[in-house]
Structure 1
Amino acid sequence: MSIEEQRLKTQVELVEITEAYDDQRLDNFLITRLKGVPKSRIYRIVRKGEVRVNKSRVDAKYRLCIGDIVRIPPIRMAEVEQPTVVSHHLQHKLDAAILYEDDGLIVLNKPAGFAVHGGSGMNGGIIEALRQLRPDAHFLELIHRLDKDTSGCLLIAKKRSALRQLHELFREDRVQKTYLALLAGRWAKTKQTVNAPLQKNIRQSGERMVMISATGKEAETVFTRIKLYQAATLVEAAPKTGRTHQIRVHAKSLGHPIIGDERYGIEDVNKQFRSKGYHRMFLHAATLTFQHPVTGKSMTISAPLPEQLQQLLNNEAL
C-alpha cells in the first residue's frame, strides 16, 4: 500500500471519556474511533497493552466510565473506510425525530430500541444513522447518551465548540433533565428525593449491573407522582446527577421498579405487560433545559411520548 493510500497517526492520543461514551465497551469505542482499522488489529493492540485505560491494561470488554483516560497508540489506518450499514428503518424514524436544530446542535426525540452508537452485534446506532442521513455534515457528535430502551431528548453537537461547552455543562450538572416513568404498583407517596450512592459491578457475562452501595458515587433523583393507576404509577423523575442506570436503580429502591425494565424490574409484572402486547421499558426523556452554547439563553426542549407509551396510559385496565 502506497503512502498516499495510508495515513499515519504519529502521536499517542489521550482521550477523556464523557457521558456520551459512558458504559460503552472499550472495543466498540475503539472501532468507532479508529475508522478503517481492521478489528483484528484493534483487538491485538488491546491484548498487547498498547491501549490503556487510566494507565492500566484492560480487557477489550472493559466498560468505560466518565472520566476514564484512554491511551490510543500511533497506528496506521487505511483512508478507504467501509461505511457502517444502518437500517432504513432507523433512518426513516430519524427523519421525523428532530425536535430542534440550529447551527450548533440538534435535539432528537430518540426512538426506543436503538443504541446511541453502534457496537458489537449491531450494524449502527443513532449517531451513525444521522451521519448517513447527512453526508455533507462535517461534524456530528453525541453530547450525552440514553440507554438503548429509553426514548426521548438526545443532544447532538454540530460544532466542536458546542460539544466542549455542553460537555462542561453536563460535568457541572447544569443540564436539567426530566423523565416520565411508569412504575410497577401503586406508589403511596406524592414526592420523594432518593439520595443513594451507586456502584457499578461487572458480571462474568460482561453485563454491567448498578447497585446502591456506600462506596459508590453520589446520586440523587427526585420522584414526583403524576397519576395513580390500578396497578401502576406514572411519575416524573428528575435526576440531579448523571449516573449510569440512575433512575432505574433508584426506582427499584422505592419498591416500584420501572415497568418493562428487564434488568432491574419485576419479571412477573413485565410478563403480564408483554402478554398485553407491551414490549419496552417505560422510561422517556421528556425535557431538557440547558444554556445554549452560542447565545447563552436558557432553552427547554420537550419530546412527546411515543405512541406506544401514550396508548398504554390510555388503557383503562392499566
Structure 2
Amino acid sequence: MMAQSKKLEVRHEQIDTESAGQRIDNYLVRILKGVPKSHVYRLLRSGQVRVGGRRVAQTYRLQVDDLVRIPPVQVSTASEHRVVPVGQALPVLYEDEALLILDKPAGQAVHGGSGVSFGVIEQLRRQRPDARLLELAHRLDRETSGLLIVAKKRAALAALHELMRNGGIEKHYVTVVSGRWMNPRQHIRTPLYKYLTGDGERRVRVQADGKPAHSIVTLMRRWETVSQLGVELKTGRTHQIRVHLTHQGFPLVGDDKYGDFALNKRLAKEAGLTRMFLHAARLRFAHPLTGAPVSVEAPLPPELQAFLKHLDASEVRDAGEAV
C-alpha cells in the first residue's frame, strides 16, 4: 500500500535569537520534519525558499527578524511516522545551561543522513522534547567513540564555532595503529582533499591542493607490531587522524576505510576487536559564555581496554611508555 502524503501550506517564519546564526539549510531540515535533505536543497536551488523576498544560498546564515518563506512541501506520512526511538540514555559527562558533552558510543552516527535514519542528535532531541535548542557543535566519525559537544543555546553554538576556528578547543584522541611508531612527538602537516568514490562514498586523501591540516602525535605505548598514540587535533578535517596516520604508513587498527584489512580480520578473530580503535578522550576549552575553564575526559570503552589487555598478554612491550 502506497504511503499517503500531506500537503503543507505556504509558511512564513520570523527568525528569533535562538535561530539566528544558523545556516538556512540546517534550519529547514530541523523545522521540516520528515522532508529529505535532498528535497530541502532543491527548494533552495530553485528559489522557492526566500528570505525577505529574495533567493539565498544554502550557506546563508539567518539573522534576527529575517522572514523566511517556505513553500508547500509534500511530506510522506511514512517518513512522518518513522519515529526516532528514545533508546538508552546517552551518557552525559558535563552539562550546564549552555551546553552538554556526551560520551558517544562507537557505531552510532552523530546525525541522520547518508543511509542513516537517525543519529545521536535526533535521539537526544527525542529524549529531551522540552529542550528549546540542541545542536551539534562539531562532528565525530560514526566509528569513533568519545566526547561530543552539543550546544543548548544559539549564542553558545556561535561562540563554540568561533573557538574551533581559532584553535581555542583542545581535542585529544587515543588510537592504536599498525606498526612501531618511533618518534616521541611528531607534528604532521599535510593538506587533505575530500572526494567521493565511484559508488558515492565520502573519502579523504593527502593532496597538495587540499585544505591545511595539522595533527600532533605523541607515543604512548609500543608493542612488537602495534603502537598506542595520543593525537591532538589542531584542525578538524574529515577523517584527519585516519588519513594522516595512514599516509605515514601507520593505519588505525579496525579502520574499515583506510586500514589494513587483513590485519583487521585477524584482530577481530584473535582479539575480538570489531571496531576502529579511535576515541575522543579529552576536551579543554574556555566556556563559550562565561570564559571559565572546561576540562572533560572520557575513559576508554571496555572493548578498547580489553584490546590493550590482549596486547599486553600476547606481545612484548618495549620503550614506548604511557605519558
Counterpart in 1 of 2:303?
308
1:211-230 matches, cutoff 5 A? 211-230=205-224
Counterpart in 2 of 1:164?
158
For 1:228-268, what per-residue CA distance to the aligned partner results, in whole angstroms no more than 9, with x for missing partners? 12321000001111111111111112211111111111111
Counterpart in 1 of 2:93?
99
- 1:159 Cα deviation (Å)? 1.1
Counterpart in 2 of 1:60?
none
With over 3 angstroms needed to count, the CA separation of the structure-2 counterparts of 1:215 and 1:38, relative to structure 1, is: closer
| 2:43 pairs with one of 42, 45, 48 | 45
Counterpart in 1 of 2:290?
295
Check if 1:272 corresponds to 2:269. Answer: no
Check if 1:154 corresponds to 2:148. Answer: yes
Q: Conserved in 2, the CA contact under 8 Å of 1:195 and 1:220?
A: yes
With over 3 angstroms needed to count, the CA separation of the structure-2 counterparts of 1:43 and 1:37, relative to structure 1, is: farther
For 1:19-48, what per-residue CA distance to the aligned partner results, in whole angstroms no more than 9, with x for missing partners? xxxxxxx8xx68833523644954753785
Q: Conserved in 2, the CA contact under 8 Å of 1:37 and 1:77?
A: no
Counterpart in 2 of 1:200?
194
Following the alignment from structure 1 to structure 2, what is the Cα–Cα distance between the partners of residues 207 and 264?
13
Q: Conserved in 2, the CA contact under 8 Å of 1:114 and 1:148?
A: yes
Gaps (5+ residues) in structure 2?
Answer: 1-7, 50-54, 63-67, 316-323
Following the alignment from structure 2 to structure 1, what is the Cα–Cα distance between the partners of residues 216 and 120?
29
Following the alignment from structure 1 to structure 2, what is the Cα–Cα distance between the partners of residues 259 and 180?
12
> Which amino acid letter does the alignment assign opposite residue 172 of structure 2?
T
Q: Conserved in 2, the CA contact under 8 Å of 1:182 and 1:258?
A: yes
Aligned residues: 290
With over 3 angstroms needed to count, the CA separation of the structure-2 counterparts of 1:200 and 1:16, relative to structure 1, is: farther
Q: TM-score by structure 1 length?
A: 0.80
1:44-193 matches, cutoff 5 A? 45=43, 68-69=59-60, 74-76=70-72, 82=80, 85-87=83-85, 91-94=87-90, 97-193=91-187
Larger radius of gyration: 2
Q: Conserved in 2, the CA contact under 8 Å of 1:210 and 1:245?
A: yes
Following the alignment from structure 1 to structure 2, what is the Cα–Cα distance between the partners of residues 31 and 284?
32
> Which amino acid letter does the alignment assign opposite residue 219 of structure 2?
R
Following the alignment from structure 1 to structure 2, what is the Cα–Cα distance between the partners of residues 291 and 133?
28
Q: Conserved in 1, the CA contact under 8 Å of 2:29 and 2:35?
A: no
Following the alignment from structure 1 to structure 2, what is the Cα–Cα distance between the partners of residues 107 and 10?
30
Following the alignment from structure 1 to structure 2, what is the Cα–Cα distance between the partners of residues 263 and 37?
30
- 1:294 Cα deviation (Å)? 2.3
With over 3 angstroms needed to count, the CA separation of the structure-2 counterparts of 1:171 and 1:8, relative to structure 1, is: same
> Which amino acid letter does the alignment assign opposite residue 8 of structure 1?
R
For 1:132-181, what per-residue CA distance to the aligned partner results, in whole angstroms no more than 9, with x for missing partners? 11111111111111010001110001111111111111121211100001
Counterpart in 2 of 1:282?
277
| 1:248 pairs with one of 242, 247, 255 | 242
With over 3 angstroms needed to count, the CA separation of the structure-2 counterparts of 1:282 and 1:31, relative to structure 1, is: farther
Q: Conserved in 2, the CA contact under 8 Å of 1:186 and 1:228?
A: yes
- What is the RMSD of the two structures over their aligned residues, measured on CA atoms? 3.4
Q: Conserved in 1, the CA contact under 8 Å of 2:44 and 2:56?
A: no
With over 3 angstroms needed to count, the CA separation of the structure-2 counterparts of 1:141 and 1:8, relative to structure 1, is: same
| 1:238 pairs with one of 218, 226, 232 | 232
| 1:317 pairs with one of 307, 314, 319 | 314
For 1:95-142, what per-residue CA distance to the aligned partner results, in whole angstroms no more than 9, with x for missing partners? xx1101111110000101011011243231001111111111111111
Q: Conserved in 2, the CA contact under 8 Å of 1:31 and 1:37?
A: no
> Which amino acid letter does the alignment assign opposite residue 281 of structure 2?
A
For 1:165-224, what per-residue CA distance to the aligned partner results, in whole angstroms no more than 9, with x for missing partners? 111111212111000010112212222111101111222211121111111111110100
Following the alignment from structure 2 to structure 1, what is the Cα–Cα distance between the partners of residues 20 and 60?
6
State the identity as a percent: 40
Gaps (5+ residues) in structure 1?
Answer: 19-25, 58-63
Following the alignment from structure 1 to structure 2, what is the Cα–Cα distance between the partners of residues 84 and 170?
34
